Structure 1
Amino acid sequence: MENMQELLARKKGVVAAMQMMDRNAHFDSEEGRVYAQTLVKLVTIEMQIEAQEKEKIAR
């Protein structure tokens, strides 16, 4: 599992990439699919960050 700093760096990179994309692109276009995949990556990273925070609190 990645550490918190690595996850935050990945999140920052994904957010920067998403800002350059067209968020209004249709999902049936290539750009829309790439945006949706990037959004999934962002959510996954955020879930990993939350899991690590909860684990830290539980200790």
Structure 2
Amino acid sequence: MDTIQYLKAQKAKLEAEMQWMDKDFSFDTEEGRRYAEALLKLVLIHMQIEEKEKNRAAK
């Protein structure tokens, strides 16, 4: 599987998980920490996708 496709699949999975999570959790709770962790992973994956697409376009 292509790296970009893999990252996009991971992104879609995280977005789906975050949809059922309550966005109003306090970060002091376990649910809030899981939401923040998922959001961080989502941002990092998005950055990796952008980087790889830029590298691919530069070639």
Give the alignment's TM-score, normalised by structure 1: 0.92
Task: Please name the residue that 2:22 is paired with.
Answer: 22
SS at match of 2:28: coil
1:55 and 2:59 equivalent? no
Between the aligned residues of both structures, percent identity stands at 50
1:37 and 2:37 equivalent? yes
Higher relative contact order (CA 8 A, sep 6+): 2
* 4+ residue runs over 6 A deviation: none
Name the count of aligned residue pairs.
58
Structure 1 segments unaligned to the other structure (5+ residues):
none
Structure 2 segments unaligned to the other structure (5+ residues):
none
Superposition RMSD in Å: 1.0
